Amino acid sequence: MSNRKKYTIIGLIVAAIVGFIAFHQIEAASHKAEFCILCHNMQPEYDSYTKGNLLAKKHKDANVTCHDCHTPTIGEQLNEVRMYATGDFETPTKQRGFTNEQCTSCHKIADIRKKTAHYGLSNPHEGTHNKDNEMLQCQSCHAVHHPQKLNTCMSCHPIDWKVDSSWKMYPPTKK
């Protein structure tokens, strides 16, 4: 085997090792909010995750990372790189919704119902508000990076629960 061929093979092996290590370092770093904020136009969401009294901060305190809830596909990631590189993004960032499946992958429905049983007949996690034992959409009331709203409940019911300051009461017509 010629020296040139040996050096080419050694170079390819070294490049593969360096690439492998770099990929895993970037992948590990990408689970931290500090990494996400480098490119993403999401200062309010980052602030809600690192300080304050919203659900995002409670998730951070429980060691939940961005990727525990946000798991973008390779296609979405490539599109985000394109938007960042071209400046083709909205300011402020459009709020994303979330599914009950995302929430209930950690928060078990039975535990939620037990924890809120003291609300009695007005418990939104039980009773007439649920069809076929399936809960309302969590995002109808709960938000993670923005104040939670009682609009859904208040459109039909007066709210007599004590809620903390992460909740905002808006007239039922305001979204």
Q: What is the DSSP letter of 120?
A: G
**Helix and strand tally (H, E) in the chain?**
9, 2
**Residue 113: is its pLDDT beyond 90?**
no
Output the pLDDT for position 14. Answer: 94
At position 86, the amino acid (one-letter code) is T
Side-chain-side CA neighbours of residue 32 (13 Å) = 7
**Residues 55 and 142: beta-carbon distance below 8 Å:** yes
pLDDT digits 0-9 by tens, 38-76: 777 778 888 988 988 888 899 999 999 888 888 888 888
Reported pTM: 0.67
pLDDT at 97 over 60: yes
d(CA 59, CA 49): 8
Name the band, by pLDDT with cuts 50, 70 and 90, for residue 127: low
Model pLDDT, residue 12: 93
Give the model's pLDDT for residue 132: 67
Q: Which among 170, 56, 158, 145 has a CA at the least distance from the CA of 92? A: 145
pLDDT of residue 78 exceeding 80: yes
Give the N- to C-terminal CA distance of the chain in Å, as an integer. Answer: 72
**Contact (CB, 8 A) for 167 and 147:** yes
- Distances in Å between the Cα of 116 and the Cα atoms of 25, 48, 109, 123 are 42, 25, 11, 6
Residue pair 67/30 in contact by the 8 Å Cβ criterion: yes
Over residues 138-164, the mean pLDDT reads 74
